[in-house]
Amino acid sequence: MFDAAFNVKERVSYLISVELTLERLKAMPVVSVQSQLGCPEADALEKILEYAKTNVLTDKSGVRLFGRNFYPFEQPEPHGYEFYLTLDENVNPSQEFIVQNMFEGLYATLRVRGVAGIPNGWHALFSMVESAGYVPVGVCRQMYGWVTAGFEEIVNWQQQDASQERITDLWLQLKE
């Protein structure tokens, strides 16, 4: 009995928020970069953080960092990853960095602690959305491949160093 209770507690310890929260995101201008190399999450993160540093965005308030997996059209694995950095001013795109708008709409959100909590957080978010009677937008065709209508926002990206645990808000777009 004790072990079962301990295991349940261990499985939910990654959650910071256990409530289903609905929020409306407005279209936001973003610069994005994607990668399909080795560890695409780490590669794309390194690129977008270098972009933020070069463009003096690492200390600017209100700048947000979102990311998500994408699955190439011809061969869905290995998957890629794309990061989106919000902007409040015009920037010049390059071949590697694309300026576009984030997708506006109604989103269900859940906050998780640590990178290891993200997969379980997504599972919990999908379960709560279904239990509440909402329906996710689903899979969409985008520039690099297929994507789910969800994002992972690194909340503390500007303050994060090696000793700090990552805080991530999971955003799942809902049908309206």
pLDDT at 8: 41
Asked if residue 157 has pLDDT above 80, the reply is yes
Domain count, the chain: 1
Asked if residue 102 has pLDDT above 60, the reply is yes
C-alpha 31/C-alpha 152 separation (Å) is: 16
- Which residue's structure tokens are 């301990």? 6
Q: What is the pTM of this model?
A: 0.84
The four Cα atoms 113, 114, 117, 119 give a dihedral, to 10 degrees, of 120
Under DSSP, the state recorded for 161 is -
Query: Which range marks the domain in which residue 111 is found?
Result: 2-173
pLDDT at 135: 96
Q: Residue 118: which CATH number?
A: 3.20.80.10
Each residue of 5-32: pLDDT tens digit?
333 444 556 666 667 899 999 989 999 9
**For residues 172 and 97, which has the higher predicted lDDT (pLDDT)?**
172
Q: What integer is the mean pLDDT of 121-149?
A: 90
C-alpha 138/C-alpha 120 separation (Å) is: 18
In sequence order, which residues have a C-beta less than 8 Å from that of residue 5 and are 6 or more positions away?
Answer: none
